[in-house]
Structure 1
Amino acid sequence: MSAASAKKTYDLFVSYSQSDRPLVSKFAEDLRARKVSLWYDRWEMRPGDTLRERISDGIAQARTFMVLLTPASLASDWVNYELNVGMLREIEGAKLRVVPVLAGGVDVKEIPVDLRTKYCLDISSRDGYAAALEQLVDLIHPERRERQELLRALRAGEGQFRYVPVLREYALTGHDQTIQIAALRGLAKKDGADVTLAVIERMLNQWGVQALDAAYKILVRRGREGILGLAATYFDDSRYYHQKLDLFAEMEPALAGVRDEYWAAPFNWHLPKVAEALFDASDADIRMGSLISAHHHFGEGLGIPMPTQARLGLAESYAEVRIPGLLAVLERSARRSR
């Protein structure tokens, strides 16, 4: 085995006839775009390489052997040689899987007898090409299929993911925003204050803008509970000051005036005035939530006038009835920030 090939392994070895290069080149590019590493002669062969040695090395270093079966390849001595090597390694238990791929109108009856026992992919049609591409990638990277199945189940809220605590765990943990967003979408299909609370928890985790945006949008659609949650987290994340104030201003005209007056940058200079307007909002969810947020999210450090104990106590009692557990979640978030 050559020193060069010993340093590299491949997901897939591509065996084909040079007459089919246009088709193979496209297929190879599509596979590479899906994170499949290929031994494809156009990418691996160098001037002066010994063909038989490099091909044998490539097959030995691959986990899957794909042979494109067309009229041209069935008549090719090189393809026949490569196929013999691949089949022998598979039979000898070398952990190599041989995958036949039909094209160019070739029928299963025309291919070598030992390949007829195998399930063949067929890329003769556009639909067949797309399906074969995904099947081959799933074969090579089964974790990709498992991930797709996980994402689908999370989004649908099915199976074990029909339970809010399980979805909550996936929405809050790890650093994979795609999984977190899928879990949030699953939560959005559920009813109950515990769902709103789980989404609020994700909103309080300031990592991952895409997941934060998903949580924000879900709270907007959660009705009154969502408004209370957005208000109760208002001073937690400055990136959402404007968005939340815009939303509140649509609900209450008096806040629209405040928003327009203090919109100019730097917005933080005007935050105390905005806070006062929120504290006096006629909408109970906006008013109570913002009072709670000022207390839990270091409003004093932002120059925000702190609510009296009487007002805060009233707001906390209101919130705990509407979203049980909200105060505990806010307190945990505040402790992490200290």
Structure 2
Amino acid sequence: MIEFLSEDSVTVFQDPTKNWEITRRTTQIRKDPLTGIRTRILDYPVHMPPPPDMTELAEQTAQTCPFCRPRVMEVTPKYLPEVSPEGRFTRGESVLFPNIFPYDENSAVAVFSNQHYVRMWELTADYLMDGFLTAGDYARALSRAYPGTKRYFSLNWNYMPVAGASIIHPHYQIVAGHEPTNYHDTLLQASAQFYKTHQVSYWPSLVAVEKEKGERYLGRRGKVDWLIAYAPRGLIEVVGVAEDAAQVEELAPERWRDLAEGLQTVFGYFAEKGFPGFNLTLFSGMEEDREHYRLQVRVVPRTLLSALGTNEVNYFKMLHEECLTMIRPEEAAVELKKAFE
């Protein structure tokens, strides 16, 4: 029912680094078992430079950061009263407000706390919780203000400039429009097709298969299962799948806590490996997706491949829509699984 397909492509050449010996290198091409999206796993040694020290830049940018208090309450937009009578959504130090440069009709930015520079190992579950709960508040407010409106809701986070962040202060962005993004659409449609074909949801089936195989399954936090994707869309792709929720509006605080605790473990591993950033997206379904879909969070680490500042995204990703990695998912899972124990 779930197939893990791959094909090896072997290149043969005379190697100048080995006195012109005949050498073989294998590129493995994998297909995601749900979507069919390809990933190439390269036989390519990587020695990443140490992560950059952001301390000096953080001190400089804190002077004008629009997300530090009290500035965040003075320079950021406010919602119309029907969405938020107070104009913004707040919990503890977290604050969520309209994106002044929106990506869609419902486009928000949320700041986790007043701490401007937060190192990856400081991204604990306690640190994340208020910011995540604020996302749930916003999703439910949209449902109340605009009932019956179709919204494809995603929570998205670029952590640090290497991952595309233009501001160091930790923050995420919400996109909730009537059209999904390409990959969001692919996830939902492929999940629906799998259910139509097999009469079971792909996601609990995947968790069960990965548990049994034991190669990429990492562990469980509460009612969220964590695994490494078979065909990752980055160097590594860590996936957290909610057992009992399809859409963000229904996430109770304890389920947000399960997600946050799993992410704390993942971020700790990324920090230990020296990754300087990551991209994260939480993909929500809608009410009609309940039978076939499970809400999930996906995280990929970002890095630099050389002192030149070269990152790991090149023409394969940008123009061919295929991903490259030099890290075998099963090898990463062996290490990360220990952190989940």
* TM-score of the pair, normalised by structure 1: 0.23
Which structure features the higher share of helix residues?
A: 1
Which structure features the higher share of strand residues?
A: 2
* TM-score of the pair, normalised by structure 2: 0.23
Greater Cα radius of gyration, structure 1 or 2:
1
